[in-house]
Amino acid sequence: MPITPARNTRRTPPAGARSRAPRMEAEQRREQLLDAAEVAFAARGYRDAGTADVAAAARVSEPTIYRYFDSKRDLYLAMLDRNSRRLLDAWREIAANSVSPMAALDEIGRWYFTQLRRDPAPFRLRARSLLEIAGDERLTEHARRHFRETFEFVLSLYERARTAKEIGRDADPRARAWLFMAVGGLLDQFLLIDLDGIDGAELRRVMEVVRPPQRVPAHDGRKAPRRARSSHRGSKARPAASTGR
């Protein structure tokens, strides 16, 4: 009796149905969900975006999210923590590869501006988060901690620059760190309202204002001391010493 081939019992999804994401290891899936959350929350904000939006972006079912995160807030906080950690890791790498603290600060400023244009989602997310934390102490505490970590890193670079005599002893590292952070915050606001009014040349001019004046070596910019006169005015010049010839 001939053997009839078994029929393919796999169901073909109807046209237009959303395909599922492939199976992943737990850590990979968690990172994928954080990536999707970053896109969803950056686009719509914490208040308006829901776990259904994150699930759709990740191409998973909504219950999958709750296998990794207890709530929408936990997902949001984990995403903000990762965002801040990646930012500081990038800045530390720049500092480690720079010839001096001030060179590191200059390069960090250029890097930040470039990343704003190349991959704006993480920066738009940071800017949005500061507008949405009012009334939520847990969100506020996370934002406060992230800001302190970033500020302290920038401050440390200015303090090292003063110790290395790259900037004058009268330069205030703390005030300069505040100005540096303020420029970053301004760029974040430009991004949030889609204000495309600053370019690389203008940013350099802004950073020149923030950058403290470099320490000038003692011999630079000073007039050479006058040579001592051989005699006071009105006195006779000394006769030349005899050579005996």
Q: Please report whether residue 26 resides in a domain.
A: no
pLDDT in tens, 157-168: 999 999 999 988
pLDDT of res. 209: 61
pLDDT of residue 234: 44
pLDDT band, very low/low/confident/very high, at 214 (cuts 50, 70, 90): low
pLDDT, the chain, mean: 77
Q: Evaluate whether residue 22 is within a structural domain.
A: no
- Whether residue 107 is contained in a domain is answered as yes
Question: How much of the chain exceeds pLDDT 70, in percent?
Answer: 68
- Residue 234: inside a domain: no
Is residue 10 in some structural domain? no
What is the rounded CA–CA span in Å between residue 232 and residue 207? 53
Task: Give the pLDDT confidence score for residue 99 in this predicted structure.
Answer: 96
Q: Is residue 172 part of a domain?
A: yes
For residue 194, what is the domain's CATH number?
1.10.357.10
pLDDT score of 58: 92
| 155-161 LR contacts (CB < 8 Å, sep 24+) | 157/95, 157/101, 157/102, 157/104, 157/105, 158/101, 158/105, 158/212, 160/101, 161/100, 161/101, 161/102, 161/105, 161/212
Q: Is residue 71 part of a domain?
A: no
pLDDT confidence bin for 233, thresholds 50/70/90: very low
Half-sphere exposure of 127 (CA within 13 A, CB side): 22
What tens digit of pLDDT does each residue of 129-140 get? 777 777 778 888
pLDDT in tens, 18-43: 445 555 688 899 999 999 998 888 88
Hey, which residues does 167 pair with through a beta bridge?
214
Number of separate domains in the chain: 1
Give the domain range for residue 130.
78-210
In this prediction, residues 204-213 reach a mean pLDDT of: 62
**Pair 177, 151: CB distance under 8 Å:** yes
138: in domain: yes
